[in-house]
Structure 1
Amino acid sequence: MKTHDLLAIGLMTFALFLGAGNLIFPPSLGLEAGTNLFPAMVGFLITAVGLPAFTLIVLGRISNTHNLTKPLPNWLARTFWVALFTAIGPAFGMPRAVTVAYEMGIKPFVTTDHLLLFSILFSVLTLMLAFKPGRLVDCIGKVMTPLLILMLLALALAAIFSPLDFPQSPSADYQHGAITQGLIQGYMTMDAIAAVGFGWVIIQTINAKGITAPKAVANTALKVAMIYAVLMAGCYIAMGYVGATSASVAANATNGGEILARYVAGEFGVYGQWLLAAIIIMACLTTTVGLTNACAEYYKQTFNASFSITATIVVLLTGIIANFGLEQILTVSLPAILVLCPIAIALVLAALFFPANSGVSFTYITVLLTALGFGGLDALAILGKIPPSLDIPLSHSLPLYSAHASWFLPCLAVLVFNRILTVSKKPIMHINN
């Protein structure tokens, strides 16, 4: 593959992941971490960048994203993929991007509610850009992403050379456990589950460039993941530093979006508001285009559905659901996202331990059920549904429960145990699809 094509795919990958949520988390972390920004950011980068990059690398190694669930019974594999693409697509991920783009990019400049009109225009533009999947690299990787990077660079340089304040003392959570808090915040970006969905787009894009041999796909995916990781890490570090130096203007801010808005207003004045609006809208647009493409590509490959019809339905549902408002979208869809994320990561780990052609469906089913059970427990804890009488004992007795990752060690134990059995050539139960 030519260098400029590889770079374009890497830029496209970065843009697909860079939604408004990714810009909002780091400023909030930076403000709270203060002088402990470095250890907090190390933890954040491990889960917010490391997990998605690891997922992309594993997907490249298995060459085809279908292989991620190939050892599962057909009905279970399809249930997983449909649930995943529904959640990150029209049910949650895409409507959230539309509403965030409106709330941060348009609403500050208008006096009346124009969400309906904005969602229509935004959806039409998304569909136009996604309608030609072969042009996705040209639209996003070669045009939109460089513009987005220039906008972010302007904000980062202003924060470095003309900071509004100095980092303050860290909040209570970041005084002694900055790395742990960073790990939790990075995990909550949920980019690991997005990586599984975007894998469809990235692998297809690599194949479209004539790279189809398994080893070549794996090597290209590795390079793409590295480009994504470097760019995303740089973005997170810059936004985290913006938050750490914004105490004078955002001391009482309640979320990262508010911190970012106040910072750019203080740094650039009215021009800063326009800059922020452009960054947010551009970031959300690249995400909705990528998700539309991923959803339509899955249904095209799996059910032989028309790409254009599927994309139109996905975007139409997105526009409708977006008008219910961000809070309602989060309330209804967040539990499913929180449960799907550990399942997706567990399947990626299973694909790393066991090749898709090994037929170890028992292992895949076991690790999926383990992730479902413990991931459901973590989801209830995140949503505040665990009673204190149970929450306190669990935090003391269940490893990683306080980090909302109690699923990880049980899933790893299942995989290691089955791997030992496989290596020792002991029989493993097989379940026919």
Structure 2
Amino acid sequence: MNRRELAAIGFMTFALFLGAGNLIFPPLMAQQAGENWLYAIAGFLVTAVGLPALTLIVLGRLPSIDKLTAALPQWMDRSFWFLILTTIGPAFALPRAVTVAYEMGIKPFYSGNGLLLFSIIFCGLTLALALKPGKLVDYIGRIMTPALIIMLALLTVFALFNPLGAPMAATEAYQQSPIANGLTQGYMTLDAIAAVVFGWVIINTIRLRSSGNESATFRYILIIVAIYAALMALCYLAMGYLGATSSNIAAHATNGGEILAAYAAGQFGAMGQVMLAVITLIACLTTTVGITTANAEYYQNSYGFKFKISAVVITLLTATISNVGLETIIKVSLPVILVLCPIAIALIMAVIFIPKISRSNVREISVGQLVVVTIATLFGTLDALNILAKLPESVIKIAQQYLPLFNDNVSCYCQ
């Protein structure tokens, strides 16, 4: 691959990860961190950028993406991929992206309830782009992402030369441990688990465009991951700076979306609101296209369903579930996500430290990987039940006594 192709796939990778949620987390965190916002962002970058980058590199070392679970029993293998792709797909992430795109991109300019019509149009556009996966790099990497980067850069440059406030005193949590809190917030972006899903698209795209030489392919993967990591880190730093200097315009904001909206309006007036709406719509669209493509490829490779049929079904489900309401979507899907997060991260770590990847057609079970995944599942389930207030009081007392970090929900900060 030449430099232009590598840059285009790197841009595509950045755009796939950059959803509206990624824009919202850093501003609020940085505002709360105040004078310690750089320390908080440093911790944030470790889990929000470092973990996804590590995941993509590990996946790139495998003969194929599905080999990540090849050393597990077949029922566990199939269950993991089905649950993770369906949950970070039509069951949760896709409807959430459609709903957020409407709430931030359309609703500020429209007083009526247009979610149904918007979801149909948005999912139709997603389907049109997903049905041409060979053109994905052209659509996203060469057109949509540069436009997204230009708008984000424009907002950041104006903020640097004309900040709308100064960092406030940090809240108590960020005074005591800004880096640790940043690590937690970065984990909550879900990008560590999204990297497993996007791996289907990114790694397959690289392999299709490379010469077939494994060492060359892995070198391309490292370059593309570096491009993604650099762009995402710069984006998070920029969003953090906006949040840290938002004291004069959004001192009492309850979420990052309010901060960005206030900052865009403060810098550019009505045009700023339009620009933020376009940024949100593009960010959500690139994410929905990537997740839809990954799901359709999975169902095609694993179950023999035609790519086109799978993509149509996925977008129809997404459009339907989007109108159920964001609160209902989160309530139904949250338990599964809370358990899948630690399992996905445990799998990546297990493949690194307990490698056993069979290249034959015979499944060879790794006892070490099986034990790691089982433990992650147990602790993830325990944390999920605790967060959902479904854990008996007697179990909570035992866990608090013997698990020092139980109250911090260390195994799944995905709520």
Verify same fold: TM over 0.5: yes
Q: In structure 1, the residue corresponding to 2:249 is in which secondary structure?
A: helix
Distance, in Å, in 1 between the alignment partners of 2:220 and 2:203 is: 9
Measured after TM superposition, the shift of residue 277 of structure 1 is 0.2
1:373 aligns with 2:378: yes
Given that 1:9 and 1:137 are in contact with CA atoms closer than 8 Å, whether structure 2 keeps it comes out as: yes
Q: Judge which range, 242-251 or 20-29, deviates more.
A: 242-251
AA in 1 matched with 2:258: E
Q: Does 1:262 align with 2:262?
A: yes
Secondary structure of the corresponding residue to residue 369 of structure 1: helix
Deviations for 1:7-51, whole angstroms, at most 9, x for unmatched residues? 111110000000000000001101100100011111100001110
Residue 341 of structure 2 contacts residue 412 of structure 2 at CA under 8 Å; is this kept in 1?
Answer: no
Q: Aligned equivalents of 1:146 and 1:13: distance in 2?
A: 12
- Alpha-carbon RMSD: 1.8
Give aligned pairs, total: 408
**CA distance in structure 2 between the partners assigned to 1:244 and 1:391 by the alignment:** 37
Higher mean C-alpha deviation, range 121-130 or range 222-231 = 222-231
2:117 is aligned to: 117
Gaps of 5+ in 1: 409-433
Identity over the aligned pairs, expressed in percent? Answer: 56
- Secondary structure of the structure 2 residue equivalent to 1:357: coil
Q: What do residues 382-421 of structure 1 show as CA deviations (whole Å, max 9, x unaligned)?
A: 445557886577467525445432489xxxxxxxxxxxxx
The answer to whether the 8 A contact 1:31-1:246 is kept is yes
Paired with 2:38 and 2:135, the residues of 1 have a C-alpha distance of: 39
Partners of 1:370 and 1:407 within 8 A in 2: no
Q: Which residue of 2 aligns with 1:68?
A: 68
Decide whether aligned partners of structure 1 residues 406 and 210 sit closer, same or farther in structure 2, where only a CA change above 3 A counts. closer
Distance 1:407 1:123 in 2: 30
Q: Where does residue 297 of structure 1 map in the other structure? A: 297
Match of 1:422 in 2: none
Q: Cα gap change, 1:400/1:60 in structure 2, threshold over 3 Å: closer, same or farther?
A: farther
CA contact (8 A) 1:375 1:405 kept: no
> Which one-letter code corresponds to 1:41 in the other structure?
I
Q: Distance in 1 between matches of 2:185 and 2:289?
A: 26
Query: Is residue 167 of structure 1 aligned with residue 167 of structure 2?
Result: yes
Deviates more, 1:376-385 or 1:321-330: 376-385
Answer whether contact 2:99 2:326 (CA < 8 A) is retained: yes
- AA at the equivalent of 1:236: Y
Structure 1 partner of 2:210:
210
Secondary structure at 2:165 match in 1: coil
The code of the aligned residue for 2:132 comes to: K
Partner of 2:238: 238
- Residue 24 of structure 1 pairs with residue 29 of structure 2: no
2:248 is paired with a residue whose SS is helix
| Inter-CA distance 7–376: structure 2 relative to 1 (3 Å threshold) | same
Q: Normalising by the residue count of structure 2, what TM-score does the alignment of the two structures yield? A: 0.94
Superposed, 1:208-357 pairs within 5 Å as 208-353=208-353, 354-357=355-358
Q: In structure 1, how many angstroms separate the alpha carbons of the residues matched to 2:91 and 2:197? A: 14
Residue 36 of structure 1 aligns to a residue in which SS? Answer: helix
Q: Which residue of 2 aligns with 1:2?
A: 2
- The residue aligned with 1:83 is 83
In 2, Cα distance between equivalents of 1:21 and 1:144? 18
Deviates more, 1:389-398 or 1:37-46: 389-398
State the distance in 1 between where 2:27 and 2:185 align.
Answer: 11
TM-score normalised by length of structure 1: 0.90
Task: Look up the equivalent residue of 1:355 and give its one-letter code.
Answer: K
Instruction: Give 2:183's aligned residue.
Output: 183
Amino acid at match of 2:306: S
Contact 2:34 2:168 in 1 (8 A): yes
Offset at 1:210? Answer: 2.9
How many Å separate the matches in 1 of 2:31 and 2:386? 25
What's the CA shift string for 1:364-398, capped at 9, x where partnerless?
Answer: 22111111111122333444555788657746752
Query: Which segment is superposed worse, 348-357 or 233-242?
Result: 348-357
1:293 is paired with a residue whose SS is helix
Check the 8 A contact 1:123/1:316 in 2, yes or no.
yes
